[in-house]
Structure 1
């Protein structure tokens, strides 16, 4: 918390709370117990609370479910373009602020509104929708099996470093069109960037250079991948716009899907109520993902929106140029729409995990497919998996936007490595896809996810894997 004198009326900071003490959304208090902090803010201020972000810059945190939807769905009142931020216009934001990547305008759809946003987002949505979902699941299945093969003989593993942190980027680099060899390093670079380490700028340069090379290659040798489809889209994106949107899709999909996989595995391994619903047939694995998206969304807050004019929200007076943060995790447990946070929300997808409105996450179905299929492969291969430490020993790394599980140690009976040809969805020997191949398709024999593949062997099912997992004491 920080003590500030009450700003005089008329001062730009006056509307952002006249309280002498404001809570910071960074630092030990927020990192140790973000949900507890949100509830204290809700009790003190209601559905919209004045807070401090990095540099003790004032902002509004939107805690209410209805208020989050109001902000997300009305860009005419709450714009996505950070150039309207009054603190930045008036020179109060330091050049080296950790908020830089989130408040520095670049020509991407998530920083624009109106016709420009429609043009850019339309190109992204149209390109993502060209992927065949069966093809995506084949990629996920192959990479998930490869990751399990690396740990199967050991009998122990950390599912964060060995699985959830690896799988999304390995899949997304294939969908983007990058060659296989870039996958592992992109995983490391993306995580480094998101954690803001001392080498974050170097990692950022590596990601940018890799994508620049990919765009150059696809201009002369298009394939069935995201880079090629963005380049050829009728919206006529510039090379810079294609590069920036590839970057946004890769980083956003990586962070959210990695957290979703880790959070779901943690819940399966530690929550008896959750396991009982699965065991009793009251919940499928897709249902389980939706429950986790309610209870433990991969992103806590989204920064930001900027008020286009003076307005009121949740009983608070918002001034033009004020910054707002969408409190997705807080909105999911708003007592107005969820009086009992422990109750099941089976079949209800009105959570805020992917936001809402014109900036709702465009790749959420791909993220669900990666998490759902990847977790199924893992539990199918290692049905006796169980947590190797006491649940009280689990630790997280918190940031302004999310909380990332640091490790998830598990143990299981050691197993032999599985032959690739026996993977579910494996392709027949010698299969060559009809469509133009990406570098990865050429080297792995995987079909391009941009078109349905020829049927391979029927997917092997082990109906008892949930029962065996849920029988763990």
Structure 2
């Protein structure tokens, strides 16, 4: 697994040469699956919820309860892990609540969170942008959007991290459920102008269990992937001469860097899991019934069949997924990441990586693409004035 984390694209290339667009993998020693590494195969699957539903209930009956990736993939009453009318109901609730987020107010929230984080490191001349900026910013902004107090949010973050890592995942799942149950109870007693309240007030009338699992989905999408999007895009901009030079001269924007990162090195590398209820023939291979089919957004985006030298503004990648399960919060994620990156680049324009880019390391894990750290240095700078 550490070898895969160090160079997953070499592994994808080897799989492609050996298997074509669909590769047999083990998500865990007891969990066989198919990894989709061909772009066109992935698009067909993502647009075919009848043959490739996202409901894992039949599959998980065959998985030992102690399996470390079960909390990541198990059935939950939310849009991500359901199909048919249930999926449509949950998705409508989430889309409605997210559509009520005002983008101008969100930009201001990012700024309010970013400036104190920048001030904590600016006078020292060095920082780890992952742990001291990207992660706390994603976490605090998401708490503000959802209306979650920091003391509950801290336990949510710890539980979600355990689930993503697959380390103490069962304990993390319990911690996550307890914290989010408290948040739902708080919002019922004290509603506000936030996404959690929007979910509660929707005409679908979600019960407490359904509410909990909508929040699990939003936190799952809003902490780990968003943190990685911010940190990995900063890594790209600071470690690639095309960006570290051209951005300062104005010929390339932060949005260009985000588009390229989302295409070539997505922050959530392997996900979008489906569970065909019947055997399915595809690209000369029969996919077994009730076995996970995992889309490798990282491999598919880098499929030679769609190779292009023009990535700025090119959003044909699969990082947000496509079809009925496409991410409903992608415009908000773009805004948060772009605003966060612009804030720190404006505040610390002479910032440079503290180590060569090829010495940066990544956390092992089957799903994420996450740095272990992003150390930088810069001339010490006086704190910025807070509004």
**Taking structure 1 as the reference length, what is the TM-score of the superposition?**
0.78
Equivalent residue for 1:258? 227
Q: CA offsets, 1:415-473, max 9 Å, x none?
A: 2222312xxxxxxxxxxxxxxxxxxxxxxxxxxxxxxxxxxxxxxxxxxxxxxxxxxxx
Q: Which residue of 2 aligns with 1:136?
A: 106
2:105 is paired with a residue of what secondary structure?
A: helix
Once the two structures are overlaid, the 10-residue window that deviates more, 306-315 or 391-400, is 306-315
**How far apart, CA to CA, are the structure 1 residues paired with 2:320 and 2:172?**
26
Structure 1 position 114 matched with structure 2 position 76: no
Which runs of at least 4 in structure 1 moved beyond 6 Å after TM superposition? Answer: none
1:315-373 deviation per Cα after TM superposition (whole angstroms, max 9, x unaligned): 212232232110100000111111x5xx2312211111111111111211111111100
The within-5 A match list for 1:373-412 is 373-412=339-378
Per mean C-alpha deviation after superposition, the further-off stretch among 229-238 and 174-183 is 174-183
1:356 aligns with 2:326: no
Give the counterpart of 2:161 among 167, 170, 191: 191
SS in 2 for 1:404: coil
Q: 2:206 aligns with which of 231, 237, 240?
A: 237
Deviates more, 1:131-140 or 1:106-115: 106-115
SS in structure 2 at match of 1:325: strand
1:215-237 deviation line (CA, Å, top 9, x unaligned): 11221321111111111101111
Q: CA deviation at 1:187?
A: 3.9
Contact 1:65/1:332, CA 8 A, preserved across alignment: yes
Closer, same or farther: CA 311–35 of 1 in aligned 2, 3 Å: same
Pick one of 146, 150, 153 that aligns with 2:116: 146
Q: Which moved more, 1:295-304 or 1:276-285?
A: 276-285
Shift of 1:177: 0.8
Q: Whole-Å Cα distance in 2 between the matches of residues 83 and 97 of structure 1? A: 15
Whole-angstrom CA distance in 1 between matches of 2:254 and 2:212: 35
Per-residue CA deviation, residues 133-168 of structure 1 (Å, 9 max, x unaligned), is 011111111101111011111111111110111111
Moved more, 65-74 or 183-192: 183-192
Q: Whole-Å Cα distance in 1 between the matches of residues 97 and 111 of structure 2?
A: 22
1:37 matched residue in structure 2? 11
- Alignment pair present for 1:322 and 2:288: no
Q: Deviations over 1:175-230 (max 9, x none)?
A: 111124444554444334422334x5554444322321221122132111111111
Cα separation, partners in 2 of 1:387 and 1:282, compared to 1, 3 Å = same
Residue of structure 2 in register with 1:18 after alignment: none
- Gap regions ≥5 residues in structure 1: 1-26, 422-473
Query: Deviation per CA, 1:75-97, whole angstroms, max 9, x where unpaired?
Result: 10101011232xx44x4x22211
Counterpart-to-counterpart distance in 2, 1:139 and 1:299: 24
Question: 1: distance between equivalents of 2:117 and 2:161?
Answer: 18
Q: CA RMSD, aligned part only? A: 1.8
Other structure's SS at 1:70 match: helix
Match of 1:155 in 2: 125
Aligned to 1:295: 264
The CA distance in 2 between the partners of 1:313 and 1:275, in whole Å, is 43
Q: Rate the CA distance shift 1:403–1:251 in 2: closer, same or farther, 3 A.
A: same
Picking from 279, 300, 308, the partner of 1:331 is 300
User: In the TM superposition, what is the alpha-carbon distance from 1:392 to its structure 2 partner?
Assistant: 2.8
**Relative to structure 2, which stretch is displaced further, 275-284 or 217-226?**
275-284
Q: Superposed, which structure 2 residues align to 1:16-95 within 5 Å?
A: 27-85=1-59, 88-89=60-61, 91=62, 93-95=63-65
User: Contact 2:225–2:368 at 8 Å: present in 1 too?
Assistant: no
Q: Cα–Cα, structure 1 residues 268 and 51, in superposed 2: closer, same or farther, change >3 Å?
A: same
State the shift of 1:303 in Å: 5.4
